[in-house]
Chains A and B, each alone.
Chain A
Amino acid sequence: MSLLITGGRLIDPANGMDGKKDLYIDAKGFVASVGKAPAGFKAVRTIDAAGKIVCPGLVDLRARLREPGLEYKATIESETRAAVAAGITTLCCPPDTHPVIDTPAMAQMLQSRAWRFGLAFIHPLGALTRGLEGKLLADMESLDEAGCVGFTNAFTPVSDTQVLRRAFEYAATLDLTVFLHAEDPWLKGTGCVHEGEVSTRLGLPGIPEAAETVAVARDLALIEQTGCRAHFCGLSSARAITMVAEAQKRGLPVSADATAHHLHLTEHDIGDFDTQCHVRPPLRSKKDREALRRALKNSVLGAICSDHQPHEPDAKLAPFAQSEPGISALETLLPLTLKLVDENVLGLSEAIALLTLKPAQILGIEAGQLGVGATADVCIFDPKQAWTLTEDQIVSRGHNTPFLGNEFRGRVTHTLVGGKVVFER
């Protein structure tokens, strides 16, 4: 079905585009033209985007869909539905499912399940080590063939440095990207919040900043030695940002992202044991949050991601340390990023690049842009529409978010995947 999106402000950072331009999408789901109608183009449907912003569908570097293994929390169907309701058309999912994504069959299964529902695309991250056990390397080449866009040990960083070095060397051999969750397991210990004012006040075991910096330092040393391309997931501390910036300056092939919630919340938002603010890595100090924000501006951080972790209600109805970490965050990814624009942290076009082009580049995939010939994954949002996040509007199966009751400006009205309207409001 050929489609015309007319009257909107088209923002496509990949092509340096920011202006009022119509977008023509052909019947096969590709961008046929930008601005000018191609010869003989007949739109079967026209979407009036006057007053709205038209941008590439968002690319989320990290979202847990809970399938397979934890379907009582969420499923591929429920979460890809939530994704498109939030303008997200491409999702990257970590391998810590049950079973772990360490075989080509698992990687293919995830993608074909997503394909069946026809909502967002899923790109799996493969396990770096078999079973995420940190001992034997996973079959990276076959996993790569099966569609894995990178490799990671997720929340169980490899502690044996020799194994990690070999994993980096092997990944570098095949020109693959390794995704790292920088957390020293011993310094983290039983910690569940940032070690600082709030951990002291609430008597909760803390996770010192050094849990992150020690891991970043170790990983950077091995990246330098092996030449492996690496991406740090969800950095939380100012010092880690400084270390990564310095490494980038020296030319090491490293990138990093921050989650949308770390760009807004601090340890103080935990208040009196609000388990919705129990996240990993922990929310840190105001100073850390400001450093993360600056790092977006000067491109040390290459992406904002949701780090979506949907939970059933009981997962959060426990004493803080026993509650499960994570936020159901797909549906606040764009609103929280637009809030950074409102707060003058980022320009609108920069903000959109951090949700589209740049994460796609980190993954090495051809998403996040709307040049002629590109797959028409499109997000259309009304930047002025004010709305309040309430539980009944959450599409995700997980309702666990500290942002309930928050007012946002900017709301997705249409989402297209492969030229097909998969969501409209």
Chain B
Amino acid sequence: MTDNLQFDAQGRLRHLLTLEGLSRRTLVEILDAAESFIAVGEREIKKVPLLRGQTVVNLFFEPSTRTRTTFEIAAKRLSADVINLNVSASSTSKGETLLDTVRNLEAMHTDLFVVRHNESGAAHLIARHVPAHVHIINAGDGRHAHPTQGLLDAFTVRRHKGDVGKLTVAIVGDILHSRVARSEIHALTTLGAREVRVIAPKTLLPVAVEKLGVTPYTDMAEGLKDVDVVMMLRLQRERMAGAHIPSEQEYFNLYGLTPEKLAHARKDAIVMHPGPMNRGLDIDSAVADGPQSVILPQVTYGIAVRMAVMALILGGGPDAGRRA
């Protein structure tokens, strides 16, 4: 149940806030566009003039290196002007509200905000209060959504394993607190994956998670049995304080992805991780750097997927710029 905040009156994607509610067609359109942007990244001159003269502001209320950098590179390859703003939580607590911050930047004629915030719903709030010509891409809001990560993960699966409809995928780790997991689930279920499983201890599984269309497992051997794709999640080290897990060792013993546990999956299964990895906590180095890992290609695809999303939202596919 989502409102139509993400679409304009003509049904075009105006903001990307969550993958929930997007049609399979829209997802495929974005993934196909991303395919063609991969080629741009491999050229000698890695730039298309698609967003020339447009201003993109990366508005990050939460620290991030990887996501912010890939958004920055994506926008620059599309010839947009990019400004990075890291707003610490403290400056918003000094009286300026989140909306004040956005309104100030909007007054500087920003066309697109890429927003990351530690509160679920922050991107929706902003999208509800910007004028019609301003666009929002959610780069992660609290535990809610990280739609471009979900898309790039779906892209990775499609590129390495083909038709998503034939695949069984397991998402492993802190599902409860993970916006990545939620977006991956929406992407995979919308693309018609045969089965999506989530594997975690009960302390890290949200209640009623099966309502999202997934099958919950608490045991790695059972959950990983015959899967085609293993998507690992990062475990925040502060979870011990919340009494979610007793210790890093125990978590790694039960849920860390080791070659032994991976052996339950299909032999040709791929292993993914949104980064940054906690080696020896989420994942064993032997797996992270092993032959089944596609963790580094994920980063490369992230740029192409973000180019595709920006191009779609601000108008035109990969060829639109050439025609202009």
- A residues neighboring B (CB under 8 Å): 195-197, 199-206, 208, 268, 271-273, 314, 317-322
Query: Provided the pairs A203-B144, A203-B145, A317-B125 are in contact, do residues A196 and B208 lie with their beta carbons within 8 angstroms?
Result: yes
- B residues neighboring A (CB under 8 Å): 1-3, 5, 20, 97-99, 117, 119-122, 124-125, 129, 141-145, 179, 182, 206-209, 211-212
Cβ-defined contact, B207 with A204, below 8 A: no
Cβ-defined contact, B209 with A202, below 8 A: no
CA distance A204 to B182 in the complex (A): 12
Find chain B residues with CB under 8 A from A195 CB: 207
Query: Provided the pairs A319-B98, A319-B142 are in contact, do residues A206 and B207 lie with their beta carbons within 8 angstroms?
Result: yes
Find chain A residues with CB under 8 A from B129 CB: 317
Give 20 A-B contacts (CB < 8 Å), ordered by A residue.
A200-B206, A200-B212, A201-B20, A201-B182, A201-B212, A203-B141, A203-B143, A204-B143, A204-B144, A206-B207, A271-B1, A272-B2, A272-B124, A273-B120, A273-B121, A273-B124, A319-B98, A319-B117, A320-B120, A321-B119
CA distance A200 to B206 in the complex (A): 6
**A320, closest chain B residue (CB):** B121
Q: Which 3 A-B pairs have the closest CB atoms?
A: A203-B143, A319-B119, A273-B121
In angstroms, how far is the closest chain B Cβ from the Cβ of A279?
A: 16
Find chain B residues with CB under 8 A from A197 CB: 208, 211
**B145, closest chain A residue (CB):** A203
Find chain B residues with CB under 8 A from A201 CB: 20, 182, 211-212
Cβ-defined contact, B124 with A199, below 8 A: no
Cβ-defined contact, B125 with A318, below 8 A: yes
CA distance A15 to B121 in the complex (A): 51
Cβ-defined contact, B206 with A319, below 8 A: no
In angstroms, how far is the closest chain A Cβ from the Cβ of B238?
A: 13
Find chain A residues with CB under 8 A from B212 CB: 200-201
In angstroms, how far is the closest chain A Cβ from the Cβ of B213?
A: 11
Cβ-defined contact, B120 with A203, below 8 A: yes
Other-chain contact of A203, B117, B182, B208 (Cβ < 8 Å)? B182
Find chain A residues with CB under 8 A from B120 CB: 202-204, 273, 319-321
In angstroms, how far is the closest chain B Cβ from the Cβ of A237?
A: 14
Find chain A residues with CB under 8 A from B211 CB: 197, 200-201
**A190, closest chain B residue (CB):** B242
Cβ-defined contact, B3 with A202, below 8 A: no
Find chain A residues with CB under 8 A from B121 CB: 202, 204, 272-273, 319-321
Find chain A residues with CB under 8 A from B125 CB: 273, 317-319
Which of the listed residues A196, A268, A273 has the most CB atoms from chain B within 10 Å of its own CB?
A273
Instruction: Given contact pairs A195-B207, A273-B120, A273-B124, enumerate 20 new A-B contacts (beta carbons under 8 Å).
Output: A196-B207, A196-B208, A200-B206, A200-B209, A202-B144, A203-B142, A203-B143, A204-B121, A204-B144, A205-B143, A272-B2, A272-B3, A272-B121, A317-B125, A318-B98, A319-B98, A319-B119, A319-B125, A321-B120, A321-B142
CA distance A271 to B98 in the complex (A): 21
CA distance A339 to B279 in the complex (A): 58
CA distance A271 to B145 in the complex (A): 15
Which of the listed residues A200, A314, A319, A321 has the most CB atoms from chain B within 10 Å of its own CB?
A319
Find chain B residues with CB under 8 A from A319 CB: 98, 117, 119-122, 125, 141-142
**A321, closest chain B residue (CB):** B119
Other-chain contact of A199, B5, B119, B206 (Cβ < 8 Å)? B206
CA distance A320 to B211 in the complex (A): 22
